[in-house]
Each structure stands twice: as C-alpha cells, then as structure tokens.
C-alpha cells in the first residue's frame, strides 16, 4: 500500500465564503485535503441571516447544528427546525434554504457527498443570492 496523506485543516486557514449568505468555510475538500468523495465545512449564521435557496444535483447534504437553532425550508414548503445536537440529511436534488430566526448566532457543520463532476456543477441557485460576489471554488457556481 502506498503512502497515505493525512490532512489537518484549521478553520482560520480557509477562506470565508459569503456568496449565498452567512459565513461558509469549507475545511476538507479536494483542494484543501485531497478529498475524492465529498467535502466538509462549517456554516455560521448571525441572527436573521440565511443561506439562499439552492439544490445539489449530484450530492446529498448532511447538516448538524452544533450551536443555536436553524430553520431549514425544503422544497419551498416543508419547514424543519434543527436545534443544537440535531442533524438532517437533504436528499440529492431537493431545494433547501437555511435561516437563523433566533436572536443568537447559530453554527452548523455540513458534509456533501458524492462530489459533482466539476465544482461549478455542485450547486444550483434557485433564489436571488444575498450579495453579488463571484462563485467560490470550493462551493461551486450557479447554473
């Protein structure tokens, strides 16, 4: 068996992405860790912040709330509240929007798998994004 590369990445060592809202940091990915099957990151939302609705045509998304409370809107109508210590799997192709309706900060970790064939195919925006900024190479562009 050949040498295996082990990647350790600190949250402060990765770029902040605010393209879809809030603060998204991708820690473990093909670029940062040589990942081949998915990517993992941290989402921080201040009071009233949200991540604009989008879907992943190739990936399931796993979300776990480590601090605070989030409202996840699925396919425009189904609301699921996630509290500290709770997780949710968003199926491939399901539209979702994440909102912090509480008065305090919320933090969630997320993992998407499998990877899209190319990063720009990984996300499809279905709602106007909060800020007009360029796509982030770790998060993908809009279709």
Query: What are the tens digits of pLDDT across the range 52-111?
Result: 999 999 999 999 999 999 999 999 999 999 999 999 999 999 999 999 999 999 999 999
pLDDT digits (tens, 9 = 90+) for 20-35: 899 999 999 999 999 9
- Is residue 137 domain-resident? no
- Is residue 117 domain-resident? yes
- Residue 54, strand partner residues: 96, 125
- Is residue 10 domain-resident? no
Query: Which CATH number fits the domain that encloses residue 78?
Result: 2.60.120.10
- Is residue 87 domain-resident? yes
pTM of the predicted model, to two decimals? 0.87
Tell me the pLDDT band of 131, cut-offs 50, 70 and 90.
low
Question: Cα 92 vs. chain centroid, distance in angstroms?
Answer: 13
Q: What single string gives the DSSP state of each residue in the chain?
A: ----------GGGS--B-TTSSEEEEEESHHHH--SS-EEEEEEE-TT-EEEEEE-SS-EEEEEEEESEEEEEETTTEEEEEETT-EEEEPTT--EEEE--SSS-EEEEEEEESPPSSGGGS-EE-S--SS--PPBTTTB---
Give the domain extent around 42: 15-125
At 129 the pLDDT is: 75
- Is residue 138 domain-resident? no
How many structural domains comprise the chain? 1
- Is residue 131 domain-resident? no
Tell me the pLDDT band of 1, cut-offs 50, 70 and 90.
low
At 141 the pLDDT is: 45
At 3 the pLDDT is: 72
- Is residue 30 domain-resident? yes
- Is residue 8 domain-resident? no
């Amino acid at each position: 068996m050949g040498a295996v590369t082990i990647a350790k990445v600190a949250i402060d060592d990765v770029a902040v992405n605010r393209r879809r809202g809030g603060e998204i940091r991708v820690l473990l990915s093909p670029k940062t860790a040589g990942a081949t099957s998915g990517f993992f990151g941290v989402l921080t939302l201040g009071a009233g912040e949200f991540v604009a609705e989008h879907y992943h045509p190739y990936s399931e998304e796993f979300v776990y709330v480590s601090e605070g409370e989030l409202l996840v809107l699925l396919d425009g109508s189904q609301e699921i509240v996630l509290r500290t210590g709770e997780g949710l799997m968003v199926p491939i192709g399901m539209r979702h929007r994440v909102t912090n309706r509480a008065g305090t900060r919320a933090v969630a970790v997320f993992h998407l798998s499998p990877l899209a064939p190319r990063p720009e195919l990984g996300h499809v925006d279905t709602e106007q994004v909060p800020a007009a900024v360029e796509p982030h190479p770790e998060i993908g562009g809009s279709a």
